[in-house]
Chains A and B, each alone.
Chain A
């Protein structure tokens, strides 16, 4: 039961990264793919009205963590106090720039919000990347399951680590490139005209840049957590994840080369999911690794809710997910197809 809820929680987080990651990526590239005001509005329209539905995956992930692993939430959220508030403020700015950026047809107004949009999306990708690096590397947990940490200490990955060190910074850079590539691949699928052409060139460039970074991160992760690969080899889910990664890389390359946009974007999603799922399966059952003493690490079994709580949540959770998916399908069906630069629709989407 606890393993299943570890899976569900990971699923929510991975779903969030794949869904909102495209919006971060498209947002970061706003200035590069859209040169005129109309083209930039086209990018926002391509992101579409479901962006807030994507963002809810983060909230729902938080809720799932709360219901299944409340002690993890209370340890980690308090320790990452300032970093989390940075993420919050970026989410506030990102949401506002999407909602009000197109509100007034004035070049100064939209330029300002475009700037806020690019900045907040870029920062969010970096911050979430650093967060992923922290989970992989571990945190200075003490025997009471508590920790607190500075933004950075000596940039080493052992002992009293900080939020940023050479490893987490490199994961953050990788996350930014990866999500930018993901967003570009989405824009290739969703737009036409000059934005489409620029996105295509950028997608190829960014994926080419992501490949060596991916290799580097894999090697780095190995050296930071030498204990993980040994355990991962015995876990069939890791093998499945790696299979997905390899398959999606092939599909992505062939999709981009052949101009099969749908295949390329599906592969881009599968690649993100594959990488994160492999990681999640590899570190299980440890949810927070202690860099001070491995025996103080918090496992899913240490921080899980009572069996009753998990059993009750298992009843309503699948119903809720099915409903949520149906709402999204209802809307996205009506927003299918490419978004052109000239649109007669009212409003920003």
Chain B
């Protein structure tokens, strides 16, 4: 386990903090972007002013999220050089491709259209405004793909070769860009972003329905939010989550063992519903297990031999097994609750009774933070599970930090980010709260 005097420790904390904070915003905009495209398209086709009104309202919410997403995103790219110079030197020949592509293909697309999408409806006219919505949606998903290819290379390297000086270079761009890990992770991650978007849309609909204001708009948000929420929650679990777990079982068996707190190998491996990993005794405390479930999920048969941590030397164990275990299990629990909640809400919506079921509206409103938590837990599982490797099996995290940067400097900038991001967060909540208070009927500056 890393300690505070470990030079990589503070750079890890800084990256983890800034990227976790950053990702609170894109996960909503990536999900919400397609709601905007859909409503704008309906507005164009039907001429119904309610759709155009929905686009105007959500474009303002989108704009605030996008702004914070952009300004908190720029430090991420810089940190590859500032804090992870060792990693950049070692792997820049490979990951430079996708980081440059993200800027050239995705960011130029998003940034050209986003201002016009939020403020330019009159200036652009309806058709060009629709084009802007599509441009922003496609750009944000492209950006996610390039980043996930980069992450997939760190999880499961593909398309590279070792150069004469020992660093990694690109060998086959196709293999690198079409890394199977990237496809599955992209599908899983994007569905999870749609879950966040759908839950937020439904929660705002529930908020207005409970207050008895903006009736038509509230119904629009509730119907779209719950239907998309149910579909996306199902897709996050199956097939994308299932495939993701099988991928981990195949390529990172030690990670799977740590995620499940399995210290011993064997067939008929169960999944613990309750239990805490005990690293001292090397066992799971007070486990309540579904027998055979892990073997079946990972390998498609109850006889599947699940490798335990005992098969691997401790220096390749993930360095924070407890956190990894809790993150993974809580994510699964939340994902299951999302499916149940959205299924009940969709059923009531189909019967036309959702708006007259206050307890369900309250649940939808209060559920708002949980997709954010589940997304964060998912990324914690992916990134803690990758440890102690920066590039799985090739390059350790402890070799990747910037040697010329002292711990003190990193602590200083980390504190700076904490303060700045706190202010940004307060500002964001104030402005979004104000937009929600003004509601979809109002036209604001």
Whole-angstrom distance between the alpha carbons of A228 and B295 in the complex?
68
* Contact present for A63 and B77 (CB under 8 Å): yes
When distances are taken between beta carbons in the complex, the residues of chain A under 8 Å from B426 are none
A51, A96, A102: which contacts B445 (Cβ < 8 A)? A102
Does B63 count as interface, using CB distance less than 8 angstroms?
yes
Whole-angstrom distance between the alpha carbons of A51 and B118 in the complex?
14
A74, A82, A324: which contacts B85 (Cβ < 8 A)? A74
Contact A81 B409, CB 8 Å, known A63-B103, A70-B93: yes
* Contact present for B99 and A56 (CB under 8 Å): no
0 or 1 for each of A92-104: is its CB under 8 Å from B? (1 = yes):
1001100110111
Does B343 count as interface, using CB distance less than 8 angstroms?
no
Whole-angstrom distance between the alpha carbons of A78 and B124 in the complex?
43
When distances are taken between beta carbons in the complex, the residues of chain A under 8 Å from B93 are 70, 305-306, 309
0 or 1 for each of A47-64: is its CB under 8 Å from B? (1 = yes):
011111101100110111
Question: Which residues of chain B (323-376) have a CB below 8 Å from chain A?
Answer: none
Whole-angstrom distance between the alpha carbons of A321 and B82 in the complex?
27
Q: Which of A59, A75, A147 has the most CB of B within 10 A?
A: A59
Does B170 count as interface, using CB distance less than 8 angstroms?
yes
When distances are taken between beta carbons in the complex, the residues of chain B under 8 Å from A232 are none
Min CB distance, A325 to chain B, in Å? Answer: 9
Min CB distance, B192 to chain A, in Å? Answer: 25
When distances are taken between beta carbons in the complex, the residues of chain A under 8 Å from B74 are 59, 88, 91-92
Min CB distance, A67 to chain B, in Å? Answer: 4
* Contact present for B101 and A63 (CB under 8 Å): yes
Does A348 count as interface, using CB distance less than 8 angstroms?
yes
Residues of B within 8 A of A (CB): 63-64, 67-68, 70-72, 74-75, 77-78, 80-83, 85-86, 88-89, 92-97, 99-105, 107-109, 111-116, 118-124, 128, 131-132, 135, 163, 169-171, 173, 402-405, 409, 412-413, 416, 420, 424, 427, 431, 434, 443-445
B92, B115, B116, B413: which contacts A73 (Cβ < 8 A)? B92
Whole-angstrom distance between the alpha carbons of A280 and B48 in the complex?
56
Min CB distance, B176 to chain A, in Å? Answer: 9
Stretch from A121-129, A169-177, A215-223, A328-336 that touches the partner: A328-336
Does A346 count as interface, using CB distance less than 8 angstroms?
yes
Does A89 count as interface, using CB distance less than 8 angstroms?
yes
Does A313 count as interface, using CB distance less than 8 angstroms?
yes
* Contact present for B97 and A49 (CB under 8 Å): no
Whole-angstrom distance between the alpha carbons of A264 and B87 in the complex?
46
Min CB distance, B52 to chain A, in Å? Answer: 12
Whole-angstrom distance between the alpha carbons of A102 and B118 in the complex?
13
Whole-angstrom distance between the alpha carbons of A94 and B444 in the complex?
22
The residue of chain B having its C-beta at the shortest distance from the C-beta of A66 within the complex is: B96
Min CB distance, A58 to chain B, in Å? Answer: 8
Contact A308 B171, CB 8 Å, known A76-B81, A81-B405, A347-B445: yes
Whole-angstrom distance between the alpha carbons of A53 and B122 in the complex?
21
* Contact present for A74 and B92 (CB under 8 Å): yes
Does A79 count as interface, using CB distance less than 8 angstroms?
yes
3 closest A-B pairs (Cβ-Cβ)?
A70-B92, A49-B115, A77-B81
A52, A64, A88, A345: which contacts B100 (Cβ < 8 A)? A64
* Contact present for B431 and A67 (CB under 8 Å): no
* Contact present for A330 and B115 (CB under 8 Å): no
Whole-angstrom distance between the alpha carbons of A334 and B124 in the complex?
6
When distances are taken between beta carbons in the complex, the residues of chain A under 8 Å from B101 are 63, 316, 320
Does A349 count as interface, using CB distance less than 8 angstroms?
yes
A48, A95, A345: which contacts B67 (Cβ < 8 A)? A95
* Contact present for A49 and B119 (CB under 8 Å): yes
* Contact present for A317 and B104 (CB under 8 Å): yes
When distances are taken between beta carbons in the complex, the residues of chain B under 8 Å from A88 are 74-75, 78
B64, B131, B404: which contacts A79 (Cβ < 8 A)? B404
The residue of chain B having its C-beta at the shortest distance from the C-beta of A312 within the complex is: B173
* Contact present for A320 and B108 (CB under 8 Å): yes
Does A152 count as interface, using CB distance less than 8 angstroms?
no
Contact A334 B169, CB 8 Å, known A63-B96, A77-B85: no
A: number of interface residues (CB 8 Å): 68
Contact A67 B99, CB 8 Å, known A59-B74, A78-B82, A327-B135: yes
Contact A51 B99, CB 8 Å, known A74-B85, A76-B81, A77-B78: no
Whole-angstrom distance between the alpha carbons of A62 and B74 in the complex?
10
Whole-angstrom distance between the alpha carbons of A55 and B103 in the complex?
11
* Contact present for A53 and B81 (CB under 8 Å): no
When distances are taken between beta carbons in the complex, the residues of chain A under 8 Å from B64 are 99-100
Does A226 count as interface, using CB distance less than 8 angstroms?
no
When distances are taken between beta carbons in the complex, the residues of chain A under 8 Å from B122 are 345-346
Does A115 count as interface, using CB distance less than 8 angstroms?
no
A73, A82, A91, A334: which contacts B71 (Cβ < 8 A)? A91
Whole-angstrom distance between the alpha carbons of A67 and B114 in the complex?
27
When distances are taken between beta carbons in the complex, the residues of chain B under 8 Å from A102 are 445
A-B contact pairs, 19 of them (CB 8 A): A60-B107, A63-B100, A63-B104, A74-B402, A75-B85, A78-B81, A81-B405, A92-B71, A95-B70, A96-B68, A103-B445, A308-B170, A309-B97, A313-B97, A316-B104, A330-B128, A346-B119, A346-B121, A349-B119
When distances are taken between beta carbons in the complex, the residues of chain B under 8 Å from A89 are 416, 420
Min CB distance, A77 to chain B, in Å? Answer: 3
The residue of chain A having its C-beta at the shortest distance from the C-beta of B88 within the complex is: A74
When distances are taken between beta carbons in the complex, the residues of chain B under 8 Å from A77 are 78, 80-82, 85, 88, 402
Q: Which of A74, A327, A328 has the most CB of B within 10 A?
A: A74
When distances are taken between beta carbons in the complex, the residues of chain B under 8 Å from A96 are 67-68, 71, 424, 427
Whole-angstrom distance between the alpha carbons of A267 and B431 in the complex?
41
Whole-angstrom distance between the alpha carbons of A96 and B65 in the complex?
11
Q: Which of B68, B99, B413, B416 has the most CB of A within 10 A?
A: B99
The residue of chain B having its C-beta at the shortest distance from the C-beta of A146 within the complex is: B404
Using A305-B93, A335-B123 as known contacts, list a sample of 18 further A-B pairs with CB atoms less than 8 Å apart, ordered by residue number in A.
A60-B104, A63-B77, A63-B103, A66-B100, A73-B92, A77-B80, A78-B81, A88-B78, A89-B416, A306-B163, A308-B169, A308-B170, A312-B97, A317-B104, A328-B108, A330-B112, A335-B120, A345-B120
Whole-angstrom distance between the alpha carbons of A52 and B99 in the complex?
18
Contact A99 B103, CB 8 Å, known A305-B169, A346-B443: no
The residue of chain A having its C-beta at the shortest distance from the C-beta of B79 within the complex is: A77
When distances are taken between beta carbons in the complex, the residues of chain A under 8 Å from B92 are 66-67, 70-71, 73-74, 305
Whole-angstrom distance between the alpha carbons of A80 and B405 in the complex?
9
Contact A334 B120, CB 8 Å, known A67-B99, A74-B85, A89-B416: yes
Min CB distance, A70 to chain B, in Å? Answer: 2
Does A166 count as interface, using CB distance less than 8 angstroms?
no
Min CB distance, A111 to chain B, in Å? Answer: 15
When distances are taken between beta carbons in the complex, the residues of chain B under 8 Å from A64 are 100, 103-104
